[in-house]
Each structure stands twice: as C-alpha cells, then as structure tokens.
Chains A and B, each alone.
Chain A
Amino acid sequence: MSLRRRTLLKVIVLGDSGVGKTSLMNQYVHKKFSQQYKATIGADFVTKELQIDDRLVTLQIWDTAGQERFQSLGVAFYRGADCCVLVYDVNVMKSFDTLENWHEEFLKQANPPDPRAFPFILLGNKIDIDGGNSRVVSEKKAKDWCASKGNIPYFETSAKEDYNVDAAFLCIAKAALANEHEQDIYFQGIPEAAVPENEQRGGCAC
C-alpha cells in the first residue's frame, strides 16, 4: 500500500509575463537562478518530493506562459489542481492589477467543486530589486487584497536571492494537501454499461 501513501499534489503557477514564475520554480526545484529573461511557452511541470509530517508528497508544479500568445492550446491542465499560486512583481503595478483576472479566470476554467474554499497563495516576487526602492505595491496593499479574497496566504519572495522561496512552497504544499479532495477513482461514478473493449471510436489502426 505504499503507493497509496504517496500523494501527488498538483499546483498551478499563474501571473503576468516576466514576474518570475519560472525563476521561482527553478530556484525551488533546482536551486539555480538566471538573470536572463526567457519566455515560457505553453505549460509544463517540474516535480519535487518533500516530506510533510509523515507523508511523502510529490509536488507537481505547473509553470505557465504569462504571455497569452504562448498559450494556444488553452488551459485544460488546470483540471484537478490542488492549489493555485498567483505571482506578481512588487515593482510592476500592472502585474498586481491583473491578479484579479488570473484569480477569476482560474476559478472559471478549473471549476473546482467549492470555489470559495479552493486554496490560493499569493507571492510578491522580486523584492530584492534596487533594495526595495523601486517597489510600487506595498505589502499592506497586497495583504488587503489577500484578505478580500478570503485570507489568501501571502509571501514576499526573491527568486534571485532565494528569499522565502522554500517557505512559500512549503505553505503551498500544505495548502494543497489540505485541499486534496479524494480524486480517487473509486468514488467516481462508473458507468454501468461497459464499453466493449475493441470498439472502434474513429481511431485509425495505428
């Protein structure tokens, strides 16, 4: 039964282009950081295993394209998410303003059973820049927003300086774990009429 004890948690990271989604993940999973800006295309994940209390947990962290034109296939991968991480750049007001859209769009597309209870986490990234002198979104403003969304946990991070990244992801993992609704196949209604195994449904012979 060891298989049943290992839990797979799906986490989606969203936010505007250039706020540091990929960098946060790279820092967390690979402990590396690059100053270079490289756009992300489509969506894919990295995994990270961690121990929470006595449970071995595999985090499947989905990095996404912040630029809409690199999201041509849509967001089917939101399905089954256990936690959604919203990221903005504390130095760019627009990236904070659009959080509302990301939040709303995620709930709309992922369609979780209880949207109000679905765990989100907000990360305000790049707090290292210019010693914090160029930040335009105050911690209070971010926290107020979090409060308005039902007390979303908030972390200020720097992927560059590995500040608060582990703590943030640990919180993410715990939130996801708490939410992990039993997606177990046993609890899903199984259609009574079994489809004949060799029925052709339009596929070719390959």
Chain B
Amino acid sequence: MLDGTEDEEKFLAAGIAGLQQNSFYMHRALDSNNLRDALKYSAQMLSELRTSKLSPHKYYELYMRAFDQLRKLEMFFEEETRRGCSIIDLYELVQHAGNILPRLYLLCTVGSVYIKSKEAPAKDVLKDLVEMCRGIQHPVRGLFLRSYLSQVSRDKLPDIGSEYEGDADTVADAVEFVLQNFTEMNKLWVRMQHQGPAREKEKREKERSELRDLVGKNLHVLSQIEGVDLDMYKDVVLPRVLEQVVNCKDELAQFYLMDCIIQVFPDEYHLQTLDVLLGAYPQLQTSVDIKTVLSQLMERLSNYAASSAEVLPEFLQVEAFSKLSNAIGKVIEAQPDMPTVGVVTLYSSLLTFTLHVHPERLDYADQVLGACVKKLSGKGKIEDNKATKQIVALLSAPLEKYNDIMTALKLSNYPRVMEYLDIPTTKVMATVIIQSIMKNGTRISTSEKVEALFELIKGLIKDSDGIPNDELDEDDFKEEQNSVARLIQMLYNDDAEEMFKIIDTVRKHILTGGPKRLPFTVPPLVFSSLKLVRQLQGQEENPFGDDASTTPKKIFQLLNQTIETLSGVLAPELALQLYLQCAEAANDCDLEPVAYEFFTQAYILYEEEISDSRAQITAIHLIIGTLQRMHVFGVENRDTLTHKATGYSAKLLKKPDQCRAVYACSHLFWVDDHDNMKDGERVLLCLKRALRIANAAQQMANAARGSTGSVMLFIEILNKYLYFFEKGNLQVTVAAIQGLIELIMNEMQGDTTTPDPAADAFLASTMRYIEFQKQKGGAVGEKYEAIKVSHAG
C-alpha cells in the first residue's frame, strides 16, 4: 500500500498541473476577448476541484489557485459587461457548463458581477446562488463552494450604509443570506462524519476539524455586518445560530461554534443575551467540553470589564455574576464525572471575573471559593497536576488583583481551598504568597494576621505529618527557607506589645520546623526581637509598669530559649553568634546578669560543642570582639570572662593561632573612654605571652623543617606594641619596641630564614608609619622620636 501523504502529494501535483494548463488557455482566451473559450477553459480548470482524493489542507491549496484565477475571470466579466454584454445573458450562459461544480463556481463569479451591476436586487441574486449551491452535497466540495460564495458576496451584502442597500434590499436580507449559508454549511460539515467506513472515523474527525473555520467564517461575516445591532443579534442572529448549534447534536460542531459565537461577537452583546447564551449550555451534548467554552466566555467578559470602568454598570444591570455562578453550578451538577481540573477551571474563571467586575465585593470572591471547596470536598488531596495548577491560579487571582495578602486573608474559604493541595503545590502557593508580600511590601502588623498567614504558608514552615522532606533539592530548600526568613523580617508593628505578640507567634510556628529549618528561621527572629529591644531601650521607662507589659528582660528570656533550640540541632556556631549578639544588646540595656548569662551560654557552647579548630578560631575572635565592647560588667564578672577568653586563646591548636588570639586579648584590658578599664600591666602581659608563643612557634618550625618560619607574627605583635604605646600605656616602653624591632631584623637576616615578601612589605610599611609619626611633630612626634629605626637590608 502506498503511503497516504505521498499519494496525496501526487494527486495535488496532478491537480495543479491540470489547473495551470487550463488557466493558460483561459488567459489566452481572456486576452483575445474570446468569451466562449474563456468559459470552456475556466470550467475545465474548475473541474480539478471535483477531486475526492485530497485532504482539506491540500484541497485548500488547489482551491486557492483556482480562486486566484477566478479573480481574473471576474475582472473579465466586468469588462465584458462594460463592453455591452448583458450580465443577465452571462448569468444564463455560464449555466451551460457541463459539470455542476464548475458551473456553480462560474455562477457565483458572474453573480458577484451581477450584484455589482445592480441590474437586479442583491437579495434576489444572493438567494438564487445560496439555493443553487444545494446542488453540491459532497461535504468537502460543498463547504469550499459555499465558502467561495461567502467570499465573493461579502462586500456586496445589502448592509446598512452599503451601496447595495435599497428599498428591496435590507440588512435583514443580508443576515438571512449568511444565516442560510451557515446553516447549509453546518449541515454538510456535521453530515461528513457519517460518510465513509467506520474504521476511518478518526481520520474523518481530523479532517472535519480542519474544515471548521469554513463554517465559523459565516459567524465572523455576521459579526462584521454593520446592521447587526443588539436588537437584531438578540432577536434573529443568536437564536438562529444557537438553534443550529443545539439541533445538530454534534460534539465537535457544538464546542467549536460556541467558542466562535463568544469570540466573534462583541462583549456587550454577550452581556445583554447572557440568559439565552447560558441557557444553551445544558442543551449541548454531554461530551462537549463546556468548562472550556464557559471559561473562555468568562475570560472575555473579565477582559472587557478590565478594559474600562465605564462598562461595569452593564455587568451590574444584567446581574452577570449570579447568572454565571448559577450556570456553573448547573453545568457541574449535570456532569458528575467532570474531572477536578474542570471544576477548578470554572471557579477560577468565575473568580477572575468577579474580581474584575466586583472588586469591592469580597463576599462574592469568598462565595466562589466556598462553592469550589464544596465541590472539592470528599476528593481528598488533589494530585492531578493540571488541577493543582488551576488551584494555584485560583488562589493567586486575589493576590494579583489586590496586591495584598491581607485582603486574601479576609476570605474565609481561602485556607479551606488550600487544604486540598498536595505538599509540593502547598509550597508553590506559599511561595507565591510570600512573593506577593515582598513585591508589594505588604505590612502584616498584628499577631492574628501573622497567625493566619503562617497557617497559609505552613507548607514551608514544617514537614507534613509523617512525610519526610528528604527528596527535596538542597538549593530549592535553601531558597524556600530564605524566603521565609525574609518574610519574618517583614512582620512589623510600631506598638511594642503587638510586636512582642507577633514575635511570639512566629516563634511558636518556626519552632515546629525541625532541625533543617531552624538555622534559617531563628536568626531573623532573633534580629527582629533585638530590633524591638532597641526600640524599648529608647523609651524612658515602661509607661505601664505592670508585669504583663513587654520589657527587654522578657524578650531576652524568650531569646535565650529560642537560641537554645539551635544548639540542640547541631548548629552550635550559629547559636554562639546569636548569644553574643544578645549579650551585646543586653549590655546596651544595662542588664548585667542577662548579658552574663548569654556569655555563659556562649562559653558553654565553646567548651562543649565547638571542636573544629577553624570554628574555634572564628568563635574566639567573636568572643574577644564582643567582650571588648561590654561595659556593663562589674570587675568580678569581667575578670571571670576575660580570664576564660585568654585561657581559650592560649589553648588553640596551632601556635600562630594561639599567638594571634592572645595578642587580641590585650584589647580586653584597654578600652578607650573607660578609664577603669585600662590595665597597662595586663596588656603587656598579654603581649609578652604572645611573643613567647611566637618564639616557640619559630623554634618548632626550625625543628620540624630546618628553617625558621616567617617573622610575620613578630611584626604583628610589634604593631600591637606601637598601638598601645601611642595610646599612652606606660608599660609599653621605647626599649621594648626597640628590642622587638632588632629581634625582627635579626630574624630576617638569619641564614635559615624563609623569605617572605608579605612580611617584608608589612615591616617596611610599619617602619614608614613610625617615620611618618615622627615627622608629624607635636606630642606624638616627640613620643616616636625616641624610637630609633634602623633600615634593614
């Protein structure tokens, strides 16, 4: 058996060849004004359209070629009549063509000229033509012939304001003509499915689908007729078209034509005929995809409503919302097997509609969601991909419309719809909500709203019962949790009491998040709380003074408990950082015991949980830095804490790290602006201890590698010496500095020294600094003058 398409190409090529050949002779006849031959060859040319072997697509190609040739014939006919040939005679003459199909094409072509000549009323010619076309009952040939008729008559309809309008010709005739052609075409189209063997049904349906625009075109022509005003549409056009649609009882035709009606006629017509239009839906075959057609109607009306506020009264006047709402209810009821996606699509369209038309009627929106929940109930979690997508669209619509989650939170049925989402979709929706808040900078300012919001986004806040989260991509998870973190920062109220409640609410929710989420969610909560602490600290005294009101102390208690959860989930470094932040905040509030407690917690973590040496280095420097800024501690507490810190420093694993931590500790004994915190002796002790460690480090390097290490540590210590020297620490003497410089020089010139350009540069710049300070003059210059700089190398 030959391949079907290949075969078809052959038939098409043969058809085109025949057509070209005859059109060649036709043209020759036209050029020599030979009417008889022109008719003969044009008829032969048109005979090619009698084929049954082409699919609609290919047939259309052939038809278009014939069509182009017929335009030239039409011009010739016009010329002929101008030369005195009677158009009536021509109209008769072409009917002598032997085959009916060419005959009718020629008749339509002459008919077009006939109408143009105005020698007979347009309506009579049109009526004659549309009747004569009944002669072709083969669906494909008939549909193309009639579409030819429709095409050539389009600009000759006796429309209002048209030159063909007259006493005998009215727009009613134009409409009647198109309706009749439409009806006949639809019949041909519907009948096509019953022709041919049953096994080719699928192919036939495909071909029918290709032909659909030929039928639908008539509706487009109707919509373009100027005289089809609302009244005529309501009284004649719509009823007649719907009658045809309903009675043809064909699924394909019904679905397509309902779509056409919606798309080709103007929105205000639909609004004014909503009852009739919606009334047709239940009469369609049950297999028709009504939800799509209805959604398209609502989409169009929504766009219309959105186009201008001026049209909104039209919607109210016809009670469009309740009509659509009823229609949807009926359709869903009539089709109990409608898949969930269909149900949700319908409600989603209705919601979009009401949001556009009645933005102020939140109760309508809630009603739609409520109706949707009702239909979803008993179906469990929705797992159909398409359906969940539609639910996301449904739930996103109010957010997009109001740019404000607060409005959506007022919709009581909103969270109830969310119940039906599966876990991944719940997350998608939660992300959509958070993005909306971010984008619009929505203020969520009461604990109640926060509670409602966290209820909505709980998909991101905690694992669903019994379902672990393992399969989730690490990056996706981070992104999700980062968005939650950003959200937490957005929750804010000026009122401290309310803000405290918000923090408490957030805390309650995020603590359910489990070990993987806490490291993301606890820090923003801590900082949010500290922000509140600072706000309270600015206020003089608690104006209420009662125990129930929010105090920094209370917040710190809460923070202590919150951070504690982190150490339990293997994030001790993070917890340590947060403790130190809190300690500093407590310091600013003059709460010594609280600050001490936070330090104690940090120290415990350091001792018990932080064992990695790099983490220890980071932690110890954080501790030293924070402790240096603390001024709230009394001597005893401070001594305890600094003693510990120095002890930790000296116990780091590697000598250089020990050395650096120890000289950093020197700052713990010398705080600017606090004279009671300047202990020159202990500063020097630290520096000397650092020097000893640096020496030990050098010796170790020597023993291990046979060469001494870098002198970097010594230069660093030298800089510390200079710092305290300049700050006026009398324990740091010129002699000590001088000694240190010499030591460094010797080390650098030693045979076994490893060259280190960085150290050289550092030393050179230190020396330049000393030189610079000398030249400054004044008290500083005088001080530095005593230091003798020997230029090395």
Contact = CB atoms under 8 A, between A and B. Distances in A.
Given A44-B217, A46-B155, A188-B24, A38 B18 contact: no
A67 B263 contact: yes
B220 A40 contact: yes
B64 A42 contact: no
A73 B101 contact: no
A77 interface: yes
B53 A188 contact: no
Interface string A2-18: 11101010000000000
Interface in A155-195: 184-186, 188, 190-191, 194-195
A55 B79 CA distance: 16
Given A197-B44, A206-B101, A206-B135, A38 B224 contact: yes
B51 A202 contact: yes
A185 B266 contact: no
B68 interface: yes
A79 B210 CA distance: 19
Contacts of A191: 17, 20-21
B448 interface: no
B217 A42 contact: yes
Given A195-B18, A203-B50, A8 B75 contact: yes
B144 to A, nearest CB: 10
A203 B209 contact: no
Given A3-B30, A185-B24, A188-B20, A32 B226 contact: yes
A30 B226 CA distance: 11
Interface string B189-232: 00000000000000000000111111011011001101000000
A124 B25 CA distance: 44
Nearest to A18: B303
B64 A38 contact: no
Given A73-B60, A194-B21, A38 B266 contact: yes
Interface in A1-59: 2-4, 6, 8, 22, 32, 34, 36-42, 44-47
Contact of B213 (A34, A41, A194): A41
Contacts of A22: 224
Contacts of B224: 22, 38
Interface string B23-67: 110010011000000000000100111111100110011011100
Given A201-B48, A206-B50, A74 B14 contact: no
Interface residues of A, number: 47
Given A38-B265, A185-B23, A70 B60 contact: no
B210 A204 contact: no
Contacts of B56: 73
A184 B220 CA distance: 34
Interface string B628-659: 00000000000000000000000000000000
Nearest to A29: B155
A41 B260 contact: yes
Contacts of A71: 213
A79 B65 contact: yes
Interface in A61-118: 65, 67, 69-74, 76-77, 79-80
A186 B28 CA distance: 9
B133 to A, nearest CB: 12
Contacts of A204: 50, 52, 138
A158 B309 CA distance: 22
Given A41-B217, A195-B18, A206-B138, A8 B226 contact: no
Given A3-B75, A37-B266, A42 B216 contact: yes
Interface of B: 11, 14-15, 17-18, 20-21, 23-24, 27, 30-31, 44, 47-53, 56-57, 60-61, 63-65, 68, 71-72, 75-76, 79, 99-101, 135-138, 141, 150-151, 154-155, 209-214, 216-217, 219-220, 223-224, 226, 259-260, 263-268, 304
Interface of A: 2-4, 6, 8, 22, 32, 34, 36-42, 44-47, 60, 65, 67, 69-74, 76-77, 79-80, 184-186, 188, 190-191, 194-195, 197, 201-206
Q: Which 5 A-B pairs have the closest CB atoms?
A: A203-B50, A36-B266, A39-B263, A42-B213, A41-B220
7 contacts: A8-B72, A8-B75, A41-B219, A71-B213, A73-B210, A77-B64, A205-B99
Given A3-B31, A73-B211, A203-B47, 17 more contacts: A37-B304, A40-B220, A41-B216, A45-B151, A72-B213, A76-B64, A79-B68, A80-B68, A184-B27, A186-B24, A191-B17, A195-B18, A195-B21, A203-B99, A204-B50, A206-B99, A206-B137
